[in-house]
């Protein structure tokens, strides 16, 4: 599909996944979460994050007191499950790249979870975009600048929306201020799942 909006260089594909595709993706994620359950990473300052995480692909993103990095295994020792085929199809469609993502990070936001402003910069090649897929409750996404300071703009992401950070927008600061609990019926226990797809090496 065509992008629906560009905001601070981020390309949005609002409603990329229709309700049936969203449900199919949730079903695929259930298998992944069974093999690689959600865990709660700690920041490098030793504070537990409010978001719970797991991953699929060759690498998962991991954080503890030693810092932020990509790991080839879940904390339990199992290798991460494969990235679902429909997610790889979406990546190919919105990026046009033959190169597949190495990591599909899976973030779960409960009613009180948020994610502070950050840059995605633990990857080796910033010419490769980062793609995100939103499922479940609405979330207020804030986009800023490559520099930490300066003006920001916010937009509500809803279930099925896709965001691509590439080109000059690849290193902009961004975060989730809050979710709107109960705004979607997709996830049986409520909340929001965000997938982010990245080339790591
Ligand atoms: C989220 N998203 O939507 C957090 N990163 O929960 C991100 O941190 C993100 O949406 C890189 C590219 C797109 C994103
Ligand atoms: Fe990010």
Residue spans of beta strands (DSSP E) within 23-114: 52-57, 60-64, 67-71, 103-109
Task: Tally the domains of the chain.
Answer: 1
* Helix, strand, coil distribution of the chain in percent, nearest 5: 15, 35, 50
Q: Which of 201, 164, 200 is nearest to 55 (CA)?
A: 200
Assign residue 67 the CATH number of its domain.
2.60.120.590
Residue position matching structure tokens 């969203």: 22
Do residues 145 and 151 make contact, with C-beta atoms less than 8 angstroms apart? yes
Q: Which of 108, 106, 93 is nearest to 56 (CA)?
A: 106
- Residue 106 pLDDT grade (very low, low, confident, very high; cuts 50, 70, 90): very high
Check whether 107 has a pLDDT greater than 90: yes
Do residues 23 and 169 make contact, with C-beta atoms less than 8 angstroms apart? no
Q: How many CA atoms lie within 13 A of 67 on its CB side?
A: 4
- Residue 69 pLDDT grade (very low, low, confident, very high; cuts 50, 70, 90): very high
Query: Span 191-198, mean pLDDT?
Result: 98
Query: Span 4-19, mean pLDDT?
Result: 98
Residue position matching structure tokens 């979406």: 90
Query: Span 14-23, mean pLDDT?
Result: 98
Please identify, by atom number, the ligand 1 atom nearest to the C-alpha of residue 141. Answer: 3
Give the pLDDT confidence score for residue 44 in this predicted structure. Answer: 86
Give the pLDDT confidence score for residue 176 in this predicted structure. Answer: 98
Check whether 20 has a pLDDT greater than 90: yes
164 C-alpha to center of ligand 1: Å?
9
Please report how the helices 85-95 and 19-35 are oriented relative to each other, as an axis angle in degrees rounded to 10: 120
The mean of the pLDDT values for the chain is 97
The pTM (predicted TM-score) of the whole model is: 0.97
Range of the domain at 24: 5-198
Please identify, by atom number, the ligand 1 atom nearest to the C-alpha of residue 51. Answer: 6
Query: Span 38-61, mean pLDDT?
Result: 95
Residues in Cβ contact with 47 at an 8 Å cutoff, skipping those fewer than 6 apart? none
Ligand 1 touching residue 163 (CB < 6 A): yes
Please identify, by atom number, the ligand 1 atom nearest to the C-alpha of residue 130. Answer: 12
């Amino acid at each position: 599909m065509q992008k629906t909006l560009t905001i601070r260089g981020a390309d949005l594909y609002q409603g990329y996944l229709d309700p049936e595709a969203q449900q199919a993706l949730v079903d695929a994620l259930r298998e992944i979460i069974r093999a690689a359950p959600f865990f709660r990473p700690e920041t490098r300052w030793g504070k537990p994050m409010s978001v719970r995480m797991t991953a699929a692909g060759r690498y998962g993103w991991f954080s503890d007191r030693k810092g932020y990095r990509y790991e080839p295994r879940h904390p339990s020792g199992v290798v991460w499950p494969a990235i679902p085929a429909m997610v790889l199809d979406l990546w190919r469609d919105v990026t046009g790249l033959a190169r597949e993502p190495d990591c599909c990070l899976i973030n779960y936001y409960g009613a009180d979870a948020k994610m502070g402003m950050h840059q995605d910069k633990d990857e080796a090649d910033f010419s490769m975009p980062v793609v995100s897929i939103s499922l479940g409750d609405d979330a207020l996404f804030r986009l800023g600048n490559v520099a930490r300071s300066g003006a920001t703009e916010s937009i509500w992401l809803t279930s099925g929306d896709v965001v691509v950070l590439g080109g000059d927008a690849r290193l902009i600061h961004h975060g989730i201020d809050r979710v709107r609990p109960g705004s979607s019926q997709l996830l049986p226990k409520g909340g929001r799942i965000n997938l982010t797809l990245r080339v790591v090496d």
